[in-house]
Structure formats: structure tokens, C-alpha cells
Amino acid sequence: WRAHSKSMQDFAKYTDVVKEVREEIEARVDAAIEAGVNPEQIIIDPGIGFSKLPEHNWELLKNLDRLALLGYPILVGASRKRFLGELTGARNPDEREAASIAITAMVAKSGVWGVRTHSVKAHRDAIATVNALAKDKVER
């Protein structure tokens, strides 16, 4: 956590966003464990859209495997975020659904634990499709 939502973009300064977010998550995980939280109850979230510029969000999404090295399940919350609108030109968050579903499909393929979404059925269907495509091919 870097700042309140009203000023968080002022803190979107990174040299290596993946490394720095990983270090920040690791520090919070350590604090949680030290406070008595069972490590098996910890799920990490890279904070897509919070104190990050669009390029930071893309870099994190492309490198979730580096965060997975921490050994905790990963939750991704990219649904309808502003950086998707900047990519697609969709000003209205409701118009960012296709981009949100594409993110869900990609991160599901990478093995994340879960996604936060606004339209559960569409995202569930995307994950089911990715899983079907990932199954071994049948020899004919």
C-alpha cells in the first residue's frame, strides 16, 4: 500500500515495478505472518491499477510468474480498470468488458488463483474455454 486513492497516482514511480511490487508484497506477507496469520490463508494481489501507470500494470500482468515465486496464490483484479480503457479507447468502464475478459483468459492460462470481476459468468466462460484448450490433444 503506497497511498490513499486520492493521491495514489503521485506514488506511481518505479525503477523495476515487478521487483518493487514483489518486495512490497513480501514485506506485507512477513508482517502478516509475524502478526499471527496462517501462511496458508494468504493470497497475494499485485494491486493492478493502484499507484501504477498503465505500463506498470502491463508489466506486472506479463510477469505474474515472478510474483508466483513467493509461493502464495495470486489474485488479479484488472476488471474494467482505467488502463484497459486507455488501451481500447473505452471511456465508460462497462465498455471495457472485452478487454477484461481477455486479461482473465490470459492470467487463467498462467495459473493465477483467482480474478476479481464485475461479470462472473462471462469470465467463468472464458476460463472454461482456456481450460478446454489447454487439455491434451486427442490423437486421431
In this predicted model, what pLDDT tens digit does every residue of 21-62 receive, in sequence order? 999 999 999 999 999 999 999 999 999 998 899 999 999 999
Q: What is the pLDDT of residues 84-107, one digit of tens each?
A: 999 999 999 999 999 999 999 999
pLDDT of residue 134: 86
The residue written with cell numbers 464485475 in the block is 118
What pTM does this model have?
Answer: 0.86
The three grid cell numbers given for residue 9, joined into one nine-digit string: 497516482
Please name the residue ranges forming H helices in 42-117.
54-62, 64-68, 82-88, 97-109
pLDDT of residue 117: 95
Q: 15-33 in b/e burial notation, b at 16+ Cβ within 10 A?
A: eebbeebbeebeeebeeee
Task: Say if residue 63's pLDDT is above 80.
Answer: yes
pLDDT of residue 19: 96
Lowest mean pLDDT among 10-14, 73-77, 123-127, 128-132: 10-14
For residues 113-133, give the mean pLDDT.
Answer: 94
Task: Say if residue 138's pLDDT is above 60.
Answer: no
Task: Say if residue 1's pLDDT is above 80.
Answer: no
pLDDT of residue 23: 96
Which H helix or E strand runs over 33? helix 17-34
The chain-wide mean pLDDT, for the chain, equals: 90
